[in-house]
Structure 1
Amino acid sequence: MAKPVSRKRTAPAKGAAAGREIVPPKYHTPLFILLILAALLVFFAGPIFQDKTFQTPDNIASLSMKTYNEQADKEGAFPLWIPYVFSGMPVYASLMGGGERWWDFTNEVWWKAQRFIEFFFPNRDVFWVVLNYFIFGAGLYLLVLKKTGNKFGSFFASLAGVFSTFIIIWIMVGHNTKVASVAIWPLLFLLVDELTERMRWLYAVLLILAVHIEIESTHLQMNFYIFFALGLYLLYSLIAKAVTKENVLGVIRSGVLLAAAGAIAFGMSADRYLSTFEYSKYSIRGSAPITTDVSSPQSKTQAGGLDYDYATSWSFSPGEVLTFFIPSYYGFGRQEYQGPLTNNESVPVETYFGQMPFTDAPEYMGVIVLLLALVGAGAYRRDRFVQFLIILGVVALFISFGKNLPLLFDLMFKYFPYFNKFRVPTLILSLLQFSVAILAGYGIAAVTRWHKEGLAPLGKKRLTYALAGFGGALVLSFLIKGAFESSYNAMIASSGKQIPSQLYGWMFDTMWSDLQISLGICAAALGLLTLFVNQKASATIVMAGL
């Protein structure tokens, strides 16, 4: 009888139990999307659940329409003309308001679905905007997931986009139609991408609906920016494929379908926008000037459009790029001061001293987001979509400079259709913030890949040098602070802004504190990523840290 072979029991691999995921992978995407909603509900808990409002001029001004709208509803009249503004003006054609358009079935279903969800929340006027932020975040998640396959990177990118400073404050300053517009941006890119890869009628129909919902946000400048971005994407894809001798039929197909979707969607909204186009020739965006300013060759032409000086008042200055890293470098905007000057009472003060007349906040995206976006751009520099995002971000930044970079801006202002109807060049930075958020998702994907597959010695050396650089700069910032205060105060004084000199010291301290916080965050993030790449930190620790 054969002797049974004894087998030694093998102990489970070290860390195997710890490596088991609490949530099965198939539930990761629903969980992350719920976390996006949870983050928004926590952030806006006061306005949503306590019936609070944002007391800003645009929010207060919108209340002036309340009586008019209630009267129109009571009489069953479709609001076309408002007699209470400028002795009377079109309300529907000026996009100030409108009634129920039952014949626009898809848009009515879209808004009715939102109204149904809002019903379960106390402050419906605030929650509908928060819901659009959620749609934006969920769309970003799906877009980045398709591009990278990294779920945490997609989640990070969605939060980076939604909570980018100048995007998240739109609800606070009453720019709600911008939120309704940006909510659809990721879905448009996702559908165009799918139709480039293969023809599916379902996606074609969804593209028509998405384009229609986008233009029904009624923020024409934001609509212009997303279609400009999509056109740039298709053009770049076409050129890149032609150069590498790849099949370009997919790009042509998606371009034709996008144009067709635009035409159909416009037809569905023709009653609104044909009225707007008819009215525009009587507004400052379309009428010729009453008098011609011969001293300014760039003033409004007889063809109409905004006056150049008015259109470029909110041009982004190259120096303000520093606010991407140090948010309060130019004073931030409106801040709360609490100190000896006000007997320790909190008082709002205007501290912005940049080139623009004023601003609500800096175009700050987060230093970790920027850091990861740079990592993603470098690691995936051969990826065609990443190349496009870099181009889009740079083009948006250059256009935002407005009168500070007339070589590009003036070409568009004079020759690009409808571009001279828009003001506030800085608004196009929303495309940069959109691009940076997605690139940050690529950055997470790159670091995850390096953790699994290893990173070349040169890459590890670069990480170490970057960590040492930021760490050294942080230490140095404590030693040289006093050397910069007088020059910074002089910069505030020479700006021409009416800021009390007693606030200069506080503003400098705030700015320098932001600098040190940014340096510290970058050093800590790089340290964490270095440990992760070298497999000395777990993914859980990295996710919690970021």
Structure 2
Amino acid sequence: MKKLEKFAPHLYAIFGFIVIAIIYFYPVLSGKQIMQSDIAQYTGMAKEQNDFRNEFHQEPYWTNSAFGGMPTYQLGAKYPHNYIKSLDSALRFLPRPADYLFLYFLGFYILLMSLRVKPLQAFFGALAFGFSTYLIIILGVGHNAKAHAIAYIPMVLAGIIFVFSKRYLIGGIVTMLAAGLEIQANHFQMTYYFLFLFAFVIGFYIYEFVKEKDFKHLYKSFAILGLGAVLAIGANATNLLATAEYAKYSTRSNSNLTFDENGKKKTDTNAMSYDYITQYSYGVAESLNLIAPKLFGGSNAEDLGDKSSMYQFIVGQNVPETEARDLVKHMPTYWGDQPIVAAPAYIGIVVFFLAILAMFLEKRKIKYALAGAIALSLLLSYGKNLSVLTDFFIDYMPMYNKFRAVSSIQVILELCLPVLAILGLSAYINTEEAERKKPLLYSLGIVGGILIVLFLGNGMFDFTCENDKMYAQQYGPEFMKVLKEDRANMYMSTIYRSLGFLVVAFGILYFYTKKTFSQFTTVLLVGIVMVLDLFIVAKNYVKADDFVSKSQIERPFGEPTEADLRILEDSTHFRVFDVDGNMNSARSSFYHQSIGGYHAAKPKKMQEVFDYQIAKNNFEVLNMLNVKYILKSNEEGNQQALENPNANGSAWFVSRVKDVMTADQEMKALDKLKTNDEAVISFASNDAMSIKSLGKISKDSTSIIELMSYKPNHLKYVSDNSENGFGVFSEMYYEKGWKATIDGKEAEILNVNYVLRGLQIPAGKHKIEFKFEPDVVKTGSTIALISTLLMLIAIGLGIFYWRKQNNKLAEIK
């Protein structure tokens, strides 16, 4: 019974997290789901994969519905023996997105437990972390993988702290499972960024134990953490190996082309340009959004309300009030340095105040590790606005140049500041009265001083940004004048707001010092004020109106247009090019097999073919990609399906194969290639002996290659040619996993026309098959199974040892 009482506060906290997560996203109770823009795109990308899975009850691991064809490794592929995914599914039992909010709360609560924070304080700390505006808005726009990865990071950090605190059993288990869950969340940018935080924390503990010469504990800790990390990686082996394999063929890897799409020599060899990496760079002054949410205007689509100057201006233009009210709901009030912002990254003025208090009162020196991580993440988030540091990391820090949107590294401070805040609250509560007065006043002076300086210095800003040129052209100078007036008003009102919450939080702590409030009441009131501050701001950006019916989520692009229906009547095998969507929309992938799509890591060669050829209206390239229909909107905005009669079809024989040495030459050869009669093959992407052994090829007037059976991972053809020939297949070449046979005998697949497959086919009639059987899945699944079994053994042995030790202690007593 006593053991149950010991766990009761934690059970109450978990129950509270469940209730709050569901209440916050209450439309899920009626079966509605949040409309997330990125998830809508994912639904289009994964449509063929999901349809195949439902029909055949197996994984294709390949889809032809996007970018002409790509592996499904980054599209939600399900792997054998992925038991860590099953554990994750069990933890995410709530309807989405309440499941991620619950994970935010749970992970952070465990982290505070590792720091020996009392349950009530940890409960409010978890809520403060979960309601951080950035963490809420990424759920609103559909950055689910990012949210998923962020949610498990506190658990990983908790495991590390448990181990270094000599709580080896719970630390080892938590680290192993949390690291496994973190990796399977599959957002390696977030995981990578948090390695900086881990480096600070682990570095702190190394320093402490080296200073104390406690090397035995240090070695033991590293052994436990190392074993946990190895098993966590092993349990995710399939996904890690598949991702590593695909990364080499994605836009995240360096190109073999030495000239750009304009024909000029490339000056940057990195896969992603400096401008692309640093496009979303946080403004230095914009950092103050962290403590005053709308200091820089909030978002690009802010609701100004009917009390705003803009509302009065629009009504003054004889616009009906109801229409004016709708118009001011989406005003571009943001005037910071980034191109687009959906919400300010607000961590809370009360959180910041308590975190400053921790720097004065918290005795544990881990606060310095957290403060160092906060400082680094803030400085790196400035990107091109602090180019000296950013350039150093891009040039010398491994893998740093593989990720864009550098401002998102602020997730580190969004984790560390709430930790410091609760440590500050806890330290204040437990510090002697005489020792807490000055730190309280110092903290008020620092935070309040920043706000007062901002209040007095509002004249330093002109409330304009780069995007304003576009707004001025669209809406005129009078509109901009009124918009800047509203921005200035928002600037002042958000300072008043932060000052108000700061004074209330200070007052509660001050009255605790005067013994007006008890310890419980103080924690309760400060916790409520801290969470309410964040809750109100977050609720502005993810609303009940964002939830729609389940059927609308399942068909995010609505009903097919007349153009779609016309294309769907065609039962032959072909591709579609959506001109309006370009290469950045998965709408056409939802209904058809498309050469476009939406993904952060597109197939590199397909993107290059688009940039260097399709974007320049090279129809021969569309022909070789078997693009039979082109979707394009007319002047009235109605989508049309334009048929391309010259599409080459699924496969064809060519009369000539031209060999070149480099990728540059291969790409340039596509400029004038007659794709239905000739092909180009490069020594840079094929085995030299295979090219040299091609021999003489030809085709007769009746030669054909016909597709007889289609599945995304299994294609069957028949060919007929009186001569030894060379066949080109309008399927994307991918070196790993695809196997070809001619009459059951394995044949070598060659990379031709930069992106397509080619086969040398002997004279006569033949049956040709392509099957996608990725070795990476077989190898990874075996490793995952072994690692999971070792995890279970490790947990079992740990529990056995713990019980044995407890029994010995009981006998002694």
**Shorter-chain TM band:** 0.7 to 0.9
* Structure 2: stretches of 5+ with no match in the other structure: 306-310, 316-320, 472-478, 530-813
Displacement, 1:147? 1.6
Counterpart code for 1:133: L
Work out whether residues 370 and 440 of structure 1, in 8 Å CA contact, stay in contact via their aligned partners in 2: yes
Structure 2 contact 115–161 (Cα < 8 Å) conserved: no
**Which of residues 442, 450, 463 in structure 1 aligns to 2:423?**
442
Amino acid at match of 1:75: F
Indicate the residue corresponding to 1:312 in structure 2: 278
Name the structure with the higher strand share.
Answer: 2
Counterpart Cα distance in 1 of 2:87 and 2:294: 43
Q: Secondary structure at the match of 1:184?
A: helix
Change (3 A) 1:474 1:288: closer
Q: How many residues align?
A: 495
Aligned residue in 2 for 1:325: 291
2:437 aligns with: 460
Partner residue of 2:405 out of 415, 418, 424: 424
Residue 365 (structure 1) aligned with residue 343 (structure 2)? no
Tell me how far apart the structure 2 counterparts of residues 475 and 300 of structure 1 sit (CA, whole Å): 45
Following the alignment from structure 2 to structure 1, what is the Cα–Cα distance between the partners of residues 245 and 446? 58
Question: Is the CA contact (8 Å cut-off) linking 1:299 and 1:309 kept in structure 2?
Answer: no
Aligned to 2:376: 395
Structure 1 residue aligned with 2:629? none
* Highest RCO, 1 vs 2 (Cα 8 Å, sep ≥ 6): 2
Which residue identity lines up with residue 415 of structure 2 in the other structure? F
Q: Kindly provide the amino acid, as one letter, of the partner of residue 204 in structure 1.
A: G
The CA distance in 1 between the partners of 2:245 and 2:402, in whole Å, is 14
2:84 to 85, 90, 106: 106
Q: CA deviation at 1:437?
A: 0.8
**TM superposition shift of 1:220:** 0.8
Kindly name which structure, 1 or 2, has the bigger radius of gyration based on alpha carbons.
2
Kindly indicate whether the alpha-carbon contact (under 8 Å) linking 2:281 and 2:384 is maintained by their aligned counterparts in 1.
yes
For the residues of structure 1 that align with 2:10 and 2:30, how far apart are their CA atoms? 30
Q: How does 1:317-356 map to 2 (within 5 A)?
A: 317-333=283-299, 334-338=301-305, 339-340=311-312, 341=314, 343=321, 344-346=324-326, 347-356=329-338
Report the alpha carbon displacement of residue 235 of structure 1 after superposing the two structures with TM: 2.0
Corresponding residue SS for 2:280 = coil
Map Cα deviations across residues 18-55 of structure 1 (whole Å, 9 max, x no partner): xxxxxx88643332332232222221112x11333433
Residue 491 of structure 1 pairs with residue 469 of structure 2 = no
* SS, match of residue 511 in structure 1: helix
| Distance 1:80-1:234 versus aligned 2 partners, 3 A rule | same
Q: Distance in 2 between matches of 1:476 and 1:282?
A: 51
Q: What is the CA distance between 1:239 and its match in structure 2? A: 2.4
Question: Structure 1 residues 292, 153: CA separation in 2 closer, same or farther (over 3 Å shift)?
Answer: farther
Q: CA deviation at 1:251?
A: 3.4
User: How far apart are 1:318 and its partner, in Å?
Assistant: 1.1
Matched AA of 2:75: M
Give the helix-richer structure, 1 or 2: 1
Write out aligned runs for 1:105-504 (5 A). Answer: 105-111=83-89, 113-114=90-91, 117-118=93-94, 124=95, 126=96, 129-198=97-166, 200=168, 203-242=171-210, 244-288=211-255, 290-291=257-258, 300-301=268-269, 304-333=270-299, 334-338=301-305, 339-340=311-312, 341=314, 343=321, 344-346=324-326, 347-380=329-362, 382-450=363-431, 453-456=432-435, 459-461=436-438, 463-464=440-441, 484=458, 488=461, 490-492=462-464, 496=468, 498-499=470-471, 500-501=479-480, 502-504=482-484
Which ranges in structure 1 are unaligned for 5 or more consecutive residues? 1-23, 119-123
The change in CA–CA distance for 1:105 and 1:524 in structure 2 (over 3 A counts) is closer
Contact 1:286 1:305 in 2 (8 A): yes
User: 1:503, CA displacement in angstroms?
Assistant: 1.8
- Give me the whole-angstrom Cα distance separating, in 2, the residues matched to 1:330 and 1:105: 45
Give the distance between the partners of 2:365 and 2:218, measured in 1 at CA: 13
TM-score of the superposed pair, with normalisation by structure 1: 0.82
Shift of 1:448: 1.1
Question: Which is worse superposed, 275-284 or 423-432?
Answer: 275-284
Offset at 1:317? 1.9
Deviations 1:297-343 (A, max 9, x none): 99642xx4422211111111211111112211221113123333263
Q: TM-score, normalised by structure 2?
A: 0.56
SS of corresponding position for 2:303: strand
Describe the SS at the equivalent of 1:182.
helix
Structure 2 distance, partners of 1:55, 1:503, is 29
Letter in 1 for 2:294: S
- CA gap of 1:312–1:176, structure 2 versus 1, over 3 A, is same
| 1:484/1:320 CA distance change after superposition, 3 Å | closer
Aligned twin of 1:36: 17
* CA 491–136 in structure 1, closer or farther in 2 if over 3 Å, else same: closer
From 41, 52, 58, the counterpart of 1:72: 52
CA distance in 2: counterparts of 1:276 and 1:425, whole angstroms: 22
| Closer/same/farther in 2, CA of residues 410 and 323 from structure 1, 3 Å limit | same
Q: Identify the range of structure 1 (327-336 vs 138-147) with the bigger mean alpha-carbon deviation.
A: 138-147
Q: 1:438 to 1:108 in 2, by over 3 A?
A: same
Instruction: Read off the aligned partner of 1:110 and give its amino acid letter.
Output: D
Q: How far apart are 1:67 and its partner, in Å? A: 3.2
In 1: Cα distance, 2:503 partner to 2:11 partner: 33
Deviation at 1:441, TM superposition (A): 0.6
1:365-384 Cα distance to aligned partner (Å, 9 max, x none) = 0101111111112211x412
Report the alpha carbon displacement of residue 192 of structure 1 after superposing the two structures with TM: 1.6
What does residue 10 of structure 1 align with? Answer: none
CA distance in 1, matches of 2:155, 2:443: 36
Aligned to 2:506: 526
Identity %: 24
Whichever residue aligns with residue 518 of structure 1, its letter is: S
Q: Residues 154-173 of structure 1, C-alpha deviation per residue, up to 9 Å, x if partnerless?
A: 12211111111101212101
Distance 1:467 1:202 in 2: 38
